[in-house]
Amino acid sequence: MRIAILKKDKCQPRKCTSECIKYCPMVQTGAETVVVGSDGKPVISEDLCEGCGICIKKCPFSAISIIGLPEELKGEETHRYGENGFVLYGMPIPRAGKISGLLGENGIGKSTAIKILAGLQVPNLGNVTAEVSWYEIIKRYSGSELQNYFDRLSKGKIRVAYKPQYVDAIPKFFDGTTYELLESTDETGESKRLIKAFELEEAMKTDIKALSGGELQRVAIIACMIRDADFYFLDEITPYLDIYQRMQVAKGIRNVLEGKAVVVVEHDLAILDMLADYVHLLYGEPGGYGVVTLPKSTNRGINEYLSGFLQAENVRIRDKPIEFSAHPPRERQEERNVFIEYDGFEKRYGEDGFLLEAKPGSIALGEVLGIVGRNAIGKSTFVKVLAGETEPTAGSKALTGLAGKPLQGLRGGRGGAPTWGRAPQSFDITLSYKPQYIKGELDMKVKDFIYSLNGGLREADVIDVLHPLGIPEIEEKSLKELSGGELQSVAIAACLCQDASLYMLDEPSAHLDVEQKVRLIKTLRRYAERREVSMMIVDHDIYLIDLLSDRLMVFNGEPGVRGEIKGSFGMREGMNLFLKELGVTFRRDESTLRPRINKIGSAKDREQKEKGQYYYL
Ligand code: ADP
Ligand code: ADP
Ligand code: MG
């Protein structure tokens, strides 16, 4: 079986000479294999197409894919977005009393599947030319649990609650305070308990439009959970939340929605692992087609996903497995060059506002320093002081680049080129910063935006940054129409394309799928080494922090009140410091060594706390 996909956002019939039609050998023999559709864009007949692949190569905008699929998928179409549009095969199965997770790349159909189950979109079973009746839909799923589900859904007998993927849009539709929003939606009387559990009391009087992204995310999750429904659908729950909040939300969902059917899309694997009873994986080709697998136990599903090979389906989704090591990266005694060194300082806002206390510390050349700690604990403040954007209120002014001074005890093998022989030189730190919240409101092409950056684009940026982050794929799109993951990639690229000595990225993993995170890790590591710069990466996805960081900087304290930096540590010590304050330990999956959150108070949790093994063995 063969499907032809036209990526309409890439196709630009006014800028080409209809190569897809001109060069098609079938068209040359007189067949109507590719014709011009009503919107001026080509329509490819899947029945007539021979699959020669010439149109794919000839299209100047890479807008066409012709994909060969196993015959078994024929007749399994759940939904198709128009002729030559994306096809979804299969369907997740919501079950009462269970939380099911959806795991798969962006653009593979997760939101589509959820919208169908939530009754927001009627599936067309792949039939793009004729209206499909509920009778046909129900018949298609006869004999499966979905038969009854769609039957009741079509008769309006199912009560559903839905949290959309993008919470940033909520302020556009709602005027009023958090209290007013939650008050008007509370059907179960659970809002009070959840507001307390999610530590949102302080935000109750705040206008929805003034909430931070992390607050908005939690408000949206609560607004969904307090609906009196049988089925709950949550499209991503962790973006903008720190790890404490992620765990609070996961626990809240488990407790409050007990007995209900819940479906959650989530890219933070440690959280998905903790939350879901079983998972459906989605594989295929983003923007082309997606196949929903049958349910797998959560542990097995995540392990298969990380390994890159789905056993029951006999499908390889990635060349290489993503592997974790039970031990921290070896801290070598060889010397590595200090790059930036700062004295201890304090920064207080106003008379008795937020206070940040930083002990002295350093960052090495070519180092990726992971930063862990809660939101509103002074991470951005710290960076602003380092960059000289704001003055410290006590202690010496944060210093200075120091090229040429050795630093001891760093993870081996990845230092920047040594600068022996040169005397330590101090220089002003220039900083490039990607904030946590990014807005894509400009009506400007990605390409024009990237090229308009300060100093213009350097040649190496195309190879080191744009390609690995997939920017050429989306360069013709407008910033306004990008998905969350695409916008994030553009913001990261924009940050890295600036010339600077220190790069600071705040939550680069928000909205990225697992594959994008893996590419991000590679990109950042290579960039730091090759360019001899340093990176500070704030992130709340513990797997990403583990795989990415050379060392850890740990922020402790009380959000909004006080923050403290003890310094930068090796991975073992850093993870211990961080997780000890959080009260969380990780055990290892026996077969893959994947870190898994321990149930608090379990035998393993208590044993590991006693031994001081919060993360590494
Ligand atoms: P995910 O949630 O896994 O990121 P989606 O379900 O949002 O994926 O989208 C899957 C694919 O379907 C996307 O790649 C996109 O090309 C296509 N798609 C989504 N919504 C529409 C739509 N309204 N019209 C046409 N194509 C769409
Ligand atoms: P993080 O980056 O860890 O989320 P920030 O450094 O942005 O934290 O902020 C820490 C605290 O300082 C927050 O409570 C924030 O509201 C407060 N804060 C940040 N900037 C200012 C400012 N210019 N004036 C007053 N308070 C501020
Ligand atoms: Mg989605």
- Can you tell me the mean pLDDT for 300-304? 96
Ligand 2 contact, 375 CB (< 6 A): yes
Ligand 2 contact, 435 CB (< 6 A): no
Where do the domains of the chain lie? 2-65, 77-303, 335-569, 583-617
Q: If you measure from the C-alpha of residue 287 to the centroid of ligand 1, how many angstroms do you get, rounded to a whole number?
A: 7
> In this predicted structure, what is the pLDDT of residue 497?
93
Ligand 2 contact, 347 CB (< 6 A): no
Return the DSSP state at 210: G
For 99-130, give the DSSP string: EEEEEE-TTSSHHHHHHHHTTSS---TT--SS
Architecture field, domain 77-303: 3-Layer(aba) Sandwich (3.40)
The residue nearest atom 12 of ligand 2, judged by CA position, is 354
**Which ligand is located closest to the Cα atom of residue 102?**
1
CATH classification of 335-569 is 3.40.50.720, yes or no?
A: no
Give the tens place of pLDDT for each residue, 462-477: 999 999 999 998 998 9
Ligand 2 contact, 379 CB (< 6 A): yes
User: Ligand 2: which of 381, 507, 556, 558 to mutate, most ligand atoms within 8 Å of CB?
Assistant: 381
Q: Do domains 2-65 and 335-569 have the same CATH topology?
A: no
Ligand 2 contact, 210 CB (< 6 A): no
User: Ligand 1: which of 111, 165, 264, 512 to mutate, most ligand atoms within 8 Å of CB?
Assistant: 111
The residue nearest atom 23 of ligand 2, judged by CA position, is 349
The residue nearest atom 1 of ligand 2, judged by CA position, is 376
Nearest CA to 271 out of 494, 471, 514, 438 is that of 514
Q: If you measure from the C-alpha of residue 378 to the centroid of ligand 2, how many angstroms do you get, rounded to a whole number?
A: 6
- Can you tell me the mean pLDDT for 326-339? 66
Nearest CA to 250 out of 261, 264, 240 is that of 264
The residue nearest atom 23 of ligand 1, judged by CA position, is 81
Give percent of the chain above pLDDT 90.
73
Give the tens place of pLDDT for each residue, 2-61: 999 999 989 999 999 999 999 999 999 999 999 999 999 999 999 999 999 999 999 999
Give the tens place of pLDDT for each residue, 246-292: 999 999 999 999 999 999 999 999 999 999 999 999 999 999 999 99
Q: How confident is the model at residue 80 (pLDDT cuts 50, 70, 90)?
A: very high
Return the DSSP state at 478: B
Ligand 2 contact, 381 CB (< 6 A): yes
- Can you tell me the mean pLDDT for 479-493? 93
Give the tens place of pLDDT for each residue, 373-420: 998 899 888 888 877 778 899 876 545 555 544 444 333 333 333 333
pLDDT at 531 over 50: yes
- Whole-structure pTM value: 0.91
Mean model confidence pLDDT for the chain: 90
Fold of 2-65: Alpha-Beta Plaits (3.30.70)
Least confident of 26-40, 386-400, 439-453, 599-613: 386-400
Q: If you measure from the C-alpha of residue 114 to the centroid of ligand 2, how many angstroms do you get, rounded to a whole number?
A: 36
Alpha carbon dihedral 252, 253, 254, 260, in 10-degree steps, equals: 140
Q: Who lines ligand 1 at CB under 6 A? A: 81, 85-86, 104, 106-112, 286-287
What contacts 24+ positions apart, CB below 8 Å, involve 200-209?
A: 202/560, 203/178, 204/177, 204/178, 204/179, 205/177, 205/178, 205/179, 206/177, 206/178, 207/176, 207/177, 208/170, 208/171, 208/174, 208/175, 208/176, 208/177, 208/178, 208/181, 209/171
Q: If you measure from the C-alpha of residue 544 to the centroid of ligand 2, how many angstroms do you get, rounded to a whole number?
A: 25
Check: CB of residue 404 under 8 Å from CB of residue 380: no
**Which ligand is located closest to the Cα atom of residue 435?**
2
